[in-house]
């Protein structure tokens, strides 16, 4: 077995080197994929060396939560390993373990904490191998159902997985997602719920709370500060604490709360967390700001933002955030791809409220341009037309690079880029080529 | 002119963008100066004959489907819908909605869920998941959508399919039929959303509503369908 393990690690490390040298990605999946073929027990073998393991699953917010939690942990002096590029299948975890391990033993001795974000379906196979001390379930929405089956059946499978977990694990649940609350009874260990005052999530919408059960921790007195972020309070046993989260929208409060409760469980102090929040930058493509375009352009603009959209709930939340923000001189570039990682079914765009963008109060009278791009640009253009945009204001360009160029030409305000997952990777690549951004795997 | 759309169980039966069909019907009527009201008709609600000019019934998850099957029978809505269809009221049902309007749905475990008996079809749960883009040939046009179902639907003798499967699975992945049409009622497996990308099919429903409601031929004014046609053609060429 030892020989297989060494071979697997050697092959993995080699692939990692090759992909990095050839710049064909950061080696976030391929090393693990091939190493696992040689040594299938690689993940449980290597991961067991790390004293604390936290896993995060859910439809939306995994990457942001993991990134925030890692930021809190490193700020308090812990050494963290994680699958930082959103590669959340077993091969992604294997790749991270391989790249940090030492040959020939596969040693990972200097790490204090592992934070793994897990794909909703892969969760069930990987959790038993990782034996985590903390499990976080963020939410469950319709996302790429063509791959996973129905929402109800995902929750059922999670329930089965949790039933087999030892009671010394702690389960943190988003208590505002009523589908997740049913998981309480599946687990024999301690369960802790968090949420936002006066909100609950049902299906694909936020509803005002009516007779909701008491949650263990709630964000109180929420104030939205536009794109700059959101302010709220947490009532703890030692008093009321103020938090300023540099990410916009109610939905990011849930990501924060998940990171916060897990960090608290690890013994990280509130003061450290509050301080760390000031220097937190969002995950790639999640409300990311960048400068645009390079110097020498005729008009001065106010830069660009990338906000990932990938399912009805997430997209609607992004539209909610932008709704009050859009000014007449701003532009939108929306890119819809239908590759496997995006979901080959693009029908979800009809469940997302694109109407919110059109009803944006400040954008009402502008000479408004909206660029539709990606492999399914024409489906998107149609959705925009039926959301109320004038057909002549919708510009269709499948090619991302060309669309980006058109969208920045003559831009005076801000450019909001709303891509699906693989379109986001494409945009990142283009921005890197143009020297406007670093490679995502070099971030952090 | 005014048209009232009865959105059947929209709160529990809406999956894979079925809501887009309501949006398409609404907009294409409004762009022609026809007023539109969408009436949500769900669990425990009453339905009166004549209050709806066109029905829409989307797909749902298994749990919701069982509740809805029970409600169709207990609230008497199933019977009224059937009578309305007999007098020519148009209806579009997709996936779960289509299955519940047939004779029965037989799940993997548990007893048969009785249907409304509107379409002469029955559905049996299978272990094959039929997923992907689908193209169907009707008598005078091709329509395109996205299917995702494990139920296999079979037409009974005399049952008329909506069309022939050109690409995809359709009713059962075996006999190349897709959907069922009875009078002006259509059942099918096409999500996508179906109607926005198939404007001529959307207009067929609106035309039928006007024929039935006003009892005379009213010509629909043409619309600028540039984006619709582009999306339709892209889909056909991508999947065909």
State the CATH number of the domain containing residue B13: 3.40.50.880
Residue B231 forms contact with A (CB below 8 Å): yes
Residues of chain B with Cβ-Cβ distance to A146 below 8 Å are 131, 146, 148
Residue B17 forms contact with A (CB below 8 Å): yes
Residue with tokens 């005078």: B140
| Residues A144 and A126 both lie in one domain | yes
Give 3-state DSSP helix, strand, coil % of chain A, rounded to 5. Answer: 40, 20, 40
Q: What is the pLDDT of residues A306-356, one digit of tens each?
A: 999 988 888 998 998 888 888 888 899 999 999 888 888 899 999 999 999
Please identify, among A278, A297, A327, the residue that sits at the C-terminal boundary of a domain.
A278
Query: Which of A346, A386, A391 is closest, CB to CB, to B23?
Result: A386
What's the confidence (pLDDT) of residue A443? 46
Question: Partners of B104 in the beta sheet?
Answer: B114
Whether A398 and A381 have beta carbons less than 8 Å apart is answered as no
pLDDT mean over A67-91: 90
Residue B70 forms contact with A (CB below 8 Å): no
Task: Give the structural domain span for A345.
Answer: 286-442
The reply to whether B239 falls in a domain is no
pLDDT tops 50 at residue A221: yes
Confidence of residue B135 (pLDDT cuts 50, 70, 90): very high
Count of domains in chain A? 2
CA dihedral B128, B131, B135, B139 (to 10 degrees): 40
Å between A443 CA and nearest CA of chain B: 35
Confidence of residue A203 (pLDDT cuts 50, 70, 90): very low
Q: Check which CATH number belongs to the domain holding A234 and give it.
A: 3.40.1190.10
pLDDT mean over A12-31: 80
pLDDT tops 60 at residue A298: no
The packing angle between helices A151-163 and A123-130, to 10°, is 20
pLDDT tops 80 at residue A212: no
- The answer to whether the Cβ–Cβ distance between B193 and A149 falls below 8 Å is no
| Residues A290 and A256 both lie in one domain | no
Q: Which ranges in A164-228 belong to alpha helices (H)?
A: 178-181
The reply to whether B145 falls in a domain is no
- The answer to whether the Cβ–Cβ distance between B146 and A345 falls below 8 Å is yes
- The answer to whether the Cβ–Cβ distance between A152 and B62 falls below 8 Å is yes
Whether A202 and A220 have beta carbons less than 8 Å apart is answered as no
pLDDT tops 60 at residue A422: yes
Residues of chain B with Cβ-Cβ distance to A351 below 8 Å are 14, 17, 19-20
What's the confidence (pLDDT) of residue A363? 53
| Residues A358 and A384 both lie in one domain | yes
Residues of chain A with Cβ-Cβ distance to B62 below 8 Å are 150, 152
- The answer to whether the Cβ–Cβ distance between A149 and B129 falls below 8 Å is yes
Length of chain B: 240
Output the CA torsion sign for A106, A108, A109, A115.
Answer: negative
Å between A177 CA and nearest CA of chain B: 17
Whether A206 and A200 have beta carbons less than 8 Å apart is answered as yes
| Residues A310 and A273 both lie in one domain | no
Whether A26 and A87 have beta carbons less than 8 Å apart is answered as no
- The answer to whether the Cβ–Cβ distance between B148 and A345 falls below 8 Å is yes
Whether A96 and A70 have beta carbons less than 8 Å apart is answered as no
Q: B32: annotated binding-site residue?
A: no
3-state SS class at A129: helix
CB pairs under 8 A between A and B: 75
Using CA coordinates, name the residue in chain A closest to B59. A150
Percent of chain B with pLDDT over 70: 100
Å between A91 CA and nearest CA of chain B: 26
When mean pLDDT is compared across A88-97, A323-332, B174-183, the lowest value belongs to A323-332
| Residues A227 and A210 both lie in one domain | yes
pLDDT mean over A208-228: 78
- The answer to whether the Cβ–Cβ distance between A146 and B226 falls below 8 Å is no
Q: Check which CATH number belongs to the domain holding A301 and give it.
A: 3.90.190.20
- The answer to whether the Cβ–Cβ distance between A347 and B191 falls below 8 Å is yes
Please state, in angstroms and rounded to a whole number, the distance separating the CA atoms of residues A183 and A139: 12
Q: What is the pLDDT of residues A250-276, one digit of tens each?
A: 889 999 999 999 999 999 999 999 999
- The pair of structure tokens assigned to A116 is 């793994």
Residue with tokens 């007195």: A221
| Residues A310 and A231 both lie in one domain | no
What's the confidence (pLDDT) of residue A146? 53
pLDDT mean over A98-113: 85
Whether A203 and A182 have beta carbons less than 8 Å apart is answered as no
How far is C-alpha A256 from the geometric centre of its chain's CA atoms?
12
ipTM associated with this complex: 0.94
Please identify, among A250, A278, A306, the residue that sits at the C-terminal boundary of a domain.
A278
- The answer to whether the Cβ–Cβ distance between A351 and B192 falls below 8 Å is no
Confidence of residue A25 (pLDDT cuts 50, 70, 90): low
| Residues A227 and A325 both lie in one domain | no
Q: CB-based contacts of B43: which residues, under 8 Å, 6+ apart?
A: B9, B12, B67, B68, B71, B75
Average pLDDT, chain A: 86
Residues of chain B with Cβ-Cβ distance to A391 below 8 Å are 224, 226-227
Residue B160 is given by DSSP the state P
Q: Please, what's the b/e burial string for A31-41 (b: 16 or more CB within 10 A of its CB; e: otherwise)? A: bbbbbbebbee
Q: What is the pLDDT of residues A229-240, one digit of tens each?
A: 899 999 998 899
The packing angle between helices A30-38 and A2-21, to 10°, is 160
Length of chain A: 444
What's the confidence (pLDDT) of residue B238? 82
For an interface test with A, the pick among B26, B231, B233, B237 (most A C-beta atoms closer than 10 Å) comes out as B231
Residues of chain B with Cβ-Cβ distance to A152 below 8 Å are 61-63
Residues of chain B with Cβ-Cβ distance to A142 below 8 Å are 15
Calculate the alpha carbon distances from A239 to A217, A236, A258, B126 in Å. 13, 5, 20, 56
Residue B146 forms contact with A (CB below 8 Å): yes
The reply to whether B119 falls in a domain is yes
Query: Which of A344, A347, A381 is closest, CB to CB, to B17?
Result: A347
The reply to whether B234 falls in a domain is no
Please state, in angstroms and rounded to a whole number, the distance separating the CA atoms of residues A390 and A369: 10
| Residues A356 and A404 both lie in one domain | yes
When mean pLDDT is compared across A148-152, A260-264, B162-166, B225-229, the lowest value belongs to A148-152
Cα–Cα–Cα angle for A97, A100, A106, nearest 5°?
70
What's the confidence (pLDDT) of residue A86? 65
Task: Give the structural domain span for B32.
Answer: 2-127+152-162+180-224
What's the confidence (pLDDT) of residue A409? 86
Counting beta carbons within 10 angstroms of the beta carbon of residue A185, is it exposed (0 to 12), middle (13 to 18) or buried (19 or more)? Answer: exposed
Q: What is the pLDDT of residues B98-128, one digit of tens each?
A: 999 999 999 887 788 899 999 999 999 998 8
Count of domains in chain B? 1
The reply to whether B147 falls in a domain is no
- The answer to whether the Cβ–Cβ distance between A381 and B230 falls below 8 Å is yes
* Positions of B marked catalytic: 95, 191
Please identify, among A278, A302, A336, the residue that sits at the C-terminal boundary of a domain.
A278
Cis amide leading into A293 (omega within 30): yes
pLDDT tops 90 at residue B231: yes
Confidence of residue A143 (pLDDT cuts 50, 70, 90): low
Calculate the alpha carbon distances from A89 to A95, A143, A154 in Å. 10, 16, 16
What is the arrangement of strands in the sheet containing A304-307, beginning at the earlier edge strand?
A286-290, A304-307, A415-419, A331-335, A370-373, A394-396
| Residues A267 and A296 both lie in one domain | no
What's the confidence (pLDDT) of residue A299? 55
pLDDT mean over B116-145: 94
For an interface test with B, the pick among A142, A379, A380, A388 (most B C-beta atoms closer than 10 Å) comes out as A379
pLDDT tops 60 at residue A200: no
Average pLDDT, chain B: 93
Find, among B111, B100, B104, B119, the residue nearest to B185 by Cα.
B119
What's the confidence (pLDDT) of residue A79? 96
Confidence of residue A364 (pLDDT cuts 50, 70, 90): low
Q: What is the pLDDT of residues A118-131, one digit of tens each?
A: 999 899 999 999 99
What's the confidence (pLDDT) of residue A208? 42
């Amino acid at each position: 077995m030892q020989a297989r393990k060494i071979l697997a690690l050697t092959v993995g490390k080699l692939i990692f080197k090759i992909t990095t040298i050839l710049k064909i990605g950061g080696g976030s999946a391929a090393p693990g994929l091939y190493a696992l073929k040689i040594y299938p027990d690689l993940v449980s073998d290597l991961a067991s060396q790390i004293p604390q393991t936290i896993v995060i699953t859910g439809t939306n917010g995994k990457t942001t939560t993991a990134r925030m939690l890692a930021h809190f942990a490193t700020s308090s002096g812990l050494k963290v390993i994680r699958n930082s590029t959103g590669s959340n299948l077993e091969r992604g975890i294997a790749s991270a373990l391989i790249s940090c391990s030492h040959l020939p033993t596969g040693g990972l001795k200097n790490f204090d904490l592992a934070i793994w974000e897990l794909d909703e379906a892969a969760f069930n196979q990987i959790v038993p191998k990782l034996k985590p001390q903390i499990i976080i379930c963020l939410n469950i929405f319709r996302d790429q159902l063509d791959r996973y089956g129905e929402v109800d059946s995902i929750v059922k499978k999670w329930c089965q997985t949790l039933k087999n977990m030892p009671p010394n694990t702690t389960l943190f649940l988003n208590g505002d997602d009523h589908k997740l609350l049913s998981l309480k009874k599946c687990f024999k260990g301690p369960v802790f719920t968090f949420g936002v005052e006066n909100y609950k999530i049902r299906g694909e919408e936020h509803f005002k709370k009516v007779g909701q059960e008491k949650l263990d921790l709630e964000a109180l007195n929420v104030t939205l500060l536009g794109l700059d972020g959101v302010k709220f309070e947490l009532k703890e046993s030692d008093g009321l604490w103020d938090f300023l989260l540099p990410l916009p929208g109610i939905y990011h409060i849930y990501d924060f709360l998940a990171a916060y409760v897990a960090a608290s469980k690890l013994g990280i102090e509130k003061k450290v967390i509050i301080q760390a929040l000031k220097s937190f930058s969002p995950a790639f493509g999640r409300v990311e700001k960048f400068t645009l375009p390079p110097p020498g352009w005729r008009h001065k603009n106010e830069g660009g933002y990338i906000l990932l959209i990938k399912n009805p709930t997430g997209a609607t939340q992004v539209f909610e955030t932008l709704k009050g923000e859009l000014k007449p001189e701003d532009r939108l570039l929306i890119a819809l791809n239908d590759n496997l990682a995006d979901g080959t079914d693009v029908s979800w765009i009809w469940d997302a409220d694109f109407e919110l963008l059109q009803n944006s109060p400040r954008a009402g009278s502008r000479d408004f341009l909206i660029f539709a791009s990606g492999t399914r640009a024409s489906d998107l253009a149609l959705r925009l037309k039926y959301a109320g945009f004038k057909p002549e204001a919708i510009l269709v360009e499948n090619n991302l690079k060309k669309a980006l160029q058109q969208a920045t030409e003559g831009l005076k305000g801000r450019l909001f880029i709303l891509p699906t997952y693989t379109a986001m990777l494409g945009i990142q690549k283009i921005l890197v080529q143009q020297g406007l951004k670093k490679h995502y795997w070099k971030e952090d | 002119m005014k048209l009232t759309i009865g959105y059947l169980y929209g709160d529990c039966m809406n999956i894979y963008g079925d809501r887009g069909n309501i949006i398409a019907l609404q907009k294409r009527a409004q762009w022609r100066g026809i007023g539109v009201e969408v009436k949500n008709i769900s669990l425990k609600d009453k339905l009166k004959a004549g209050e709806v000019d066109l029905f829409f019934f989307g797909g749902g998850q298994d749990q919701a489907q069982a509740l809805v099957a029970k409600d169709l029978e207990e609230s008497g809505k199933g019977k009224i819908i059937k009578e309305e269809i007999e007098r020519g009221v148009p209806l579009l049902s997709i996936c779960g909605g289509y299955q519940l309007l047939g004779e029965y749905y037989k799940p993997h475990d548990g007893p048969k869920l009785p249907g409304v008996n509107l379409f002469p079809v029955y559905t049996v749960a299978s272990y094959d998941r039929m997923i992907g883009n689908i193209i169907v040939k009707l008598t005078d046009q091709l329509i395109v959508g996205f299917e995702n179902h494990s139920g296999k639907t079979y037409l009974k003798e005399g049952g008329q399919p909506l069309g022939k499967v050109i690409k995809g699975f359709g009713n059962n992945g075996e006999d190349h039929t897709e959907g069922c049409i009875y009078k002006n009622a259509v059942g099918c497996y096409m999500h996508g959303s179906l109607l926005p990308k198939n404007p001529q099919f959307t207009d067929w429903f609106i035309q039928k509503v006007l024929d039935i409601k006003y009892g005379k031929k009213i010509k629909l004014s043409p619309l600028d369908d540039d984006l619709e046609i582009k999306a339709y053609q892209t889909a056909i060429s991508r999947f065909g």
